[in-house]
Amino acid sequence: MDESNPMLVLASASPRRRELLGLLGVKFEVMEAGVVEQEDGAMEPRAMVLHNAALKAAWVCARRPGAWVLAADTAVALPDAGVMAAGASGMGKDLVESLKGSGGFAGEVLNKPRDMEEAREMLRKLSGRTHVVYTGVCLWRRPGGAESGEVRAKSGERRGESGEEETSGRLGEASLSGCSKTAPLPPEGAVEMTHCETSEVTFQVLDEARIEAYLARVNPLDKAGAYGIQEGRELILARYAGSFSNIMGLPLEWVAARLQELTLLPGGAVPSVEDWRFRDDSRPSFDKPLHPPA
């Protein structure tokens, strides 16, 4: 590989991530990571998606030295009913903070449903409520010819652009509380960028007929939370706040900024995938009663 012109490899078989990355106009290859992901409904969602993204990035990095490897993982997190009853108000940071709870994660992670009945049950749970979509992203590069890295239980944190602590990519046990296994770390000498993006989604109140209409249109079995915002959203979506592409599975704004820093992508505006019919920047109270769709 030409070290002066490294290849970008997407460590995902997701058609949605391929579509989103393709919007940037950057050349890339696809290599699906052969890993077993953590899918524990009681696990803290930020830790889980960062863990899984690191697993994918490490697997592909070991096989593509010299390439930039982009890996991501997405989860849907629904606050406990008790959290809502306690009056956790507002979308955005308030909602994300309420999910953490005083004694650990105060909610439920909805991963990909195992069958159509579980998909129906997930949509029933999401009906009329606001949930948080988490996407963990790793952009790593192992120098060509370097030895593969070992799994190490070491952690570190750095300050993100917002001034808040952000996991740096050295994702050991200390930074991944709630994971049953230690996430792999990049090899020594590797360049690493790691990020977790959150968006909020509020569903319409869904009756059984609406759920069946949605499932007749969309395959829910390969989607966290049994839905995909990119198709059929008029049947289920009331509003959303934050990055729309993050809800689809890859926060384009963050990815584009990092690729531009690496000169893998020319500077300029990032293509928008927003749907302004549903975007809500006012971040209203997430427990405001919603009316059933007409």
Per-residue model confidence as pLDDT tens digits over 142-189:
887 444 443 332 333 332 333 333 333 333 332 343 444 455 666 566
From the centroid of its chain, how far is CA 76? Answer: 8
Helix (H/G/I), strand (E/B), else coil: 243? coil
Q: Would the pLDDT of 264 be above 80?
A: yes
pLDDT tens-digit profile of 229-245?
999 999 999 999 999 99
Q: What integer best gives the mean pLDDT of the chain?
A: 78
Q: Would the pLDDT of 29 be above 80?
A: yes
Q: Would the pLDDT of 1 be above 80?
A: no
Amino acid 186: pLDDT = 63
d(CA 158, CA 168): 6
Per DSSP, which regions of 64-190 are E strands? 68-79, 107-110, 130-141, 155-159, 165-171
Amino acid 36: pLDDT = 86
The pairing of beta strand 191-203 with beta strand 29-30: unpaired
Residue 289's pLDDT band (boundaries 50, 70, 90)?
very low
Task: Give every CB contact of residue 161 below 8 A, 6+ residues apart in sequence.
Answer: none
d(CA 190, CA 113): 35
Average pLDDT over residues 194-208: 95
* Structure tokens that stand for 11 in this block: 């460590």
Amino acid 286: pLDDT = 36
Amino acid identity of 120?
A: R
Helix (H/G/I), strand (E/B), else coil: 239? strand
Distances (CA, A) of 180 to 6, 37, 39, 89: 34, 11, 11, 32
Amino acid 154: pLDDT = 31
Helix (H) or strand (E) holding 186: none
The pairing of beta strand 8-10 with beta strand 68-79: parallel
pLDDT tens-digit profile of 244-258?
999 999 999 999 999
Of the candidates 95, 240, 126, 166, which has an alpha carbon nearest to the alpha carbon of residue 230?
Answer: 240
d(CA 66, CA 193): 15
The residue to which tokens 């046990």 are assigned:
173
**Going from the N-terminus, what domains does the chain have, and what CATH number goes with each?**
8-261 (3.90.950.10)
Amino acid 91: pLDDT = 45
Residue 33's pLDDT band (boundaries 50, 70, 90)?
very high
Residue 268's pLDDT band (boundaries 50, 70, 90)?
confident
Residue 282's pLDDT band (boundaries 50, 70, 90)?
low
Q: Would the pLDDT of 293 be above 50?
A: no
pLDDT tens-digit profile of 69-117?
999 999 999 987 655 444 444 444 555 655 554 445 778 999 899 999 9
The residue to which tokens 């070992």 are assigned:
150
d(CA 76, CA 94): 17
Residues annotated as catalytic (active site), given as ranges: 73
Amino acid 183: pLDDT = 55
Amino acid 280: pLDDT = 85
